[in-house]
Chains A and B, each alone.
Chain A
Amino acid sequence: MERFYYDNKIVKYFGYATMLWGVVGMLAGLYAAIQIYAPGTSMNFAPTTFGRVRPVHTNAVIFAFVGNCIFTGVYYSLQRLCKTRMYSDKLSWIHFWGWQLIIVAAAITLFLGYTTGKEYAELEWPIDIAITLIWVVFGINIFGTLIKRREKHIYVAIWFYIATWVTVAMLHIVNSFEIPVSFLKSYSWYAGVQDALVQWWYGHNAVAFFLTTPILGLMYYFLPKAANRPVYSYRLSIIHFWALIFIYIWAGPHHLLYTALPDWAQSLGTVFSVMLIAPSWGGMLNGLFTLRGAWDKVREDPVLKFFVVAVTCYGMSTFEGPMMSLKNVNAIAHFSDWVIAHVHIGGLGWNGFMAFGMLYYLVPRLWGTSLYSKKLATNHFWLGTIGIVVYAIPMYWSGFTQAQMWKTFTEEGQLKFQFLETVTHIIPMYITRSIGGALYLTGAIMMVYNLAKTIKKGSFIANEAAEAAPLVKEKSAVREYWHRVIERKPMTMLVVSLIVVAIGGILELVPTFLVKSNVPTISSVKPYTPLELQGRDIYIREGCYTCHSQMIRPFRDEVKRYGEYSKAGEFVYDHPFQWGSKRTGPDLARVGGKYPHSWHYNHMLDPQSMSPGSVMPAYPWLLDNKIDTASTPAKIRAMQKLGVPYPEGYDQEANKDLMQQASQIAAGLKLDKISTPKDAEIVALIAYLQRLGTDIKAEPKDQSAKN
């Protein structure tokens, strides 16, 4: 027998970080939720507008809260499942501080408007590189630990950790391909349809491999431990694990149904989503059935209560997701609050409650004491559950309502509701939703208090002693079950996992990039002028895509409301694409020419003056800020490298053209008695907005018929 010590200190720190960022991320979410019905709460201050707060919220809850929760659980369980201390304490601490620094850098840059404009991958290239490095450190630490383990086979929780690690690495690297323009500004390597496909391949699998598989790993450790029950079915673990990681990776295109993405890719997204139901439910069943014979404990133990609701929410949202991937359902759900309800069942229910359960389990054990107040924890459980219900129901309601209103025609064939009416109609739901969120946040704060009290009454066990026999290399006499063989070889597991997850990605991405017919060319689509390009960067900076889509789907109501439906060829110069995923405001794909310059000017200064009842915040600083013309040449050169056909040497000419176009717009505004300096940011933004969706109109008739 060998004696060794588990490192609990790193677990403690990650646990603290989980609590801290959990509260911070939820606060940001609550703030964003309130801004939707009270746009004045942005206080006319750029960093606190919805378009910037929303990415802060999503990044904080995903990468800071759930990220640290994963690391807490992995650092605790991996040591115990491998019967060894972590491979290197130094690497553990580099990982910890590196990740926290990334979070802080992320929060600062997002508030300041440095963003790539790709959802859940908003962070700019230096941070992307830092993430990659820290992720590698994490990987070395995991595999180092696995190599020096004292347990012959690796447990199912670790399979999930391995798959998580390798897939997140792949997703992050492929999706973050971008060309730096300057420190903190870059353009996506991909354009339009391709960028959309890569982004949602990433985005969907961030949900799969950051919010699902690692948490399933945690479930496989903490749930049987807390219930003191054996795992229900080893066989189910094997089948659902491999099926889940293989199928999940294909499902990304279900975020792009009815868009300009080629039909074959959309169909793959749909069918693989449907096939995902069973593998996902395999995890839920293995969790819930493990509790057989322990349901009496669930009634008493808040930890198990949290786990049960978490696993149930997981089951609900993994059934709902595939249903939303059916085209006829997606036609209603997409761009509406239904999606928001769906992700929050997963986020608040599955991720949040797993994190809470785990923390309630860990803290008393790490401090060698009992929970300060079980009653408070039970109250947290109920408050959280009610919070989820009060959050989700109004969002489902508003989703259905708004989608129906969008689609309603009068008998004369006119749209019955203007967009704004559909927004003002659902404001009561938004208010109710924020109450639900506030309840949930209150619960989380109660937890922090409860755990702080627990910590106070216990004494921390920094190095927990354990004993295990060393691993001896020996051939087992009897032939092992085939899967047991892989379980002895973590490196093989890593390679096989990578192959399994790479298949779906390669088969979807490569044809979209190489087969030309997927993106039919439209000859009249031209690159953006320098001024429009600068305007587009402002659009990205302000996070307009968080509320406005740029994708008109081929539906009668959308064509009537916004104009001809969007074609793949229209986006070939869009680095990054800006299709969006939510329509809190109307689609902007063809807003060009719809309103006069002066309308846009006034609308940015005070949206309610042009659209009474609008929930858009004001952007007064655009009137004062100067266009960053110094960056124009670098931006043009970067675009040229990405294949945008500006003439050679145009980078030096660009600012001349920019100024000329700006003067025209300023002169146009002058006619409406608005005087503005021609180098104000508003001018660039107007130029971009007036360009949107207009290229296709210049196209010769016969050609448009072909596309």
Chain B
Amino acid sequence: MQDSIQEPLAIILIILMLFLLIVIGILGNVLLGAVTWFRQKEKEVEQKSKTSGGVTAATLVIGFLMAALPASAQDGETVVESVTSYGGLSPDAFWFMMGVIGVELLVIFVMLLQLRLLVAKQKAKAEGLAEEETSFKASFKKYWQKLNKFRPVEQEADLDMGHEYDGIRELDNRLPPWWLYGFYFTIIFAVIYLWRYHVSESAPLSAQEYEIAVRKAEQQRAEYLKKAASLVDENTVKLLTDASDLAAGKKTFDQNCSPCHGNLGEGNIVGPNLTDDYWLHGGSLSDIFKSIKYGWPEKGMRAWKDDLTPAQIAQLASYIKSLRGTNPPNAKEKQGELYVEEESGGAQADSTSQTAAQ
């Protein structure tokens, strides 16, 4: 959390968010004041509850979202790491902050609009005009009426169907045109959709869609791998001794291996001790790499090749090699055969069953 919070961009964004929040607060106050004043003068109920509620709502929402922010920003930071970052922020956190700022701007905009309307109304009143709306509101209203084919409320009597149920009357208004054409549109959409998927078969069904996606991904992957030299397998793996590699290996170990092999590799009910010289499936770097990669499913060790990259497996295997002889507490009794460390790591004490692995 500290890391991402200290980024200059994060600080700027947070300050901006707080600033906008203050602006909202001030504006809300002004608006409230104006409304109260207006109301007092007018002796009529005016939008008060609406605006004040709106402000509290917005403030509260933002407050709550901000409360949730640090935690999610932290997670975003740890997991996303290398991908695109925005000034040191994870994309998640960045877009979250931008979202909050966007919402704040929107609230400010709405409040300014309200304030303008209020002032305009007041001005109109002062100039002795009839209580007409501002030009913006009037034109919107006109557009809205046209859009829905509204008839003026005053002409309602002409539309009365003459039905009456427990005091409820019914009008004979036309269907809003946009609604009706929207309905037609969805029906046409439905016909085309069914035609494309099931008659002309020009759109891929689920299984075809899957094959297309896999093919495309395979191509991309092949291209990437051609460029990337990081591809290691059990034949080419070399012992890594860099502190950073071992640290990365330890992280992978803590996340994935410790439940069955103990926090320190001491082993537990499920998995064997990884710190002694006895190995069930060979103790060379290459053997360990292989055991991690393909697993020994019948004995409970699962394959990790789909979860970890070859580079990660190499780091992990090197980390496990580094645990040798650490003698952790509660170490599990020895299992398997003695593995004698050799210079090149080429010879294997127990290689008979290696071929069994897929």
Chain A residues with CB under 8 Å of chain B are 77, 80-81, 83, 151, 153, 155, 221, 224-225, 230-237, 239, 243, 258, 263-264, 266-268, 270-272, 274-275, 277-279, 281-282, 285, 289, 292-293, 296, 299-300, 327, 378, 382, 385-386, 389-390, 393-394, 397, 401, 409-415, 417-418, 421, 424-429, 431-432, 435-436, 553-556, 559-561, 565, 593-599, 602, 609-612, 672-674
Contact = CB atoms under 8 A, between A and B. Distances in A.
Nearest to B303: A594
23 contacts: A77-B166, A80-B166, A83-B166, A155-B163, A230-B160, A230-B170, A233-B174, A263-B198, A267-B198, A271-B193, A274-B193, A277-B186, A278-B183, A281-B179, A281-B182, A285-B179, A300-B45, A394-B68, A412-B221, A413-B221, A595-B300, A599-B270, A672-B300
A231 B168 contact: yes
Contacts of A386: 56-57, 60-61
A263 B269 contact: no
Given A267-B194, A418-B307, A428-B75, 8 more contacts: A225-B166, A230-B171, A232-B173, A271-B190, A389-B61, A412-B225, A554-B209, A602-B269
Contact of A411 (B56, B150, B169, B221): B221
A446 to B, nearest CB: 15
A263 B64 contact: no
A389 B103 CA distance: 13
A293 B153 CA distance: 7
Contacts of A435: 64
B259 A612 contact: yes
A428 B72 contact: yes
A415 B79 contact: no
B344 to A, nearest CB: 28
B45, B64, B310 — most chain A CB neighbours (10 Å) = B64
Contacts of A237: 170
Contact of A289 (B148, B161, B182): B148
Contact of B161 (A234, A263, A279, A327): A234
B299 A425 contact: no
B115 to A, nearest CB: 18
Contact of B309 (A235, A394, A401, A414): A414
Contacts, number: 219
A125 B92 CA distance: 48
Contact of A270 (B193, B217, B230): B193
Contacts of B60: 386, 390
Contacts of A610: 259-260
Nearest to B161: A234
Interface string B57-74: 100110011011101100
Given A278-B183, A412-B225, A554-B210, A224 B168 contact: yes
Given A411-B224, A428-B72, A595-B300, A234 B172 contact: yes
Interface in B58-116: 60-61, 64-65, 67-69, 71-72, 75-76, 79, 92, 96
Nearest to A154: B165
B166 A674 contact: no
Nearest to A294: B153
B47 interface: yes
Interface of B: 45, 47, 49-50, 53, 56-57, 60-61, 64-65, 67-69, 71-72, 75-76, 79, 92, 96, 148, 150, 153, 156, 160-161, 163, 165-176, 179-180, 182-183, 186-187, 189-190, 193-194, 197-198, 205-207, 209-210, 213-214, 217-218, 220-221, 224-225, 228, 230, 255-256, 258-260, 269-270, 297, 299-300, 302, 306-310
Given A412-B221, A612-B259, A278 B182 contact: yes
Contacts of A612: 255, 258-259
A599 B300 contact: yes
A412 B217 CA distance: 10
B186 A598 contact: no
B88 to A, nearest CB: 19
A429 B68 contact: yes
A595 B217 CA distance: 28
A390 B62 CA distance: 9
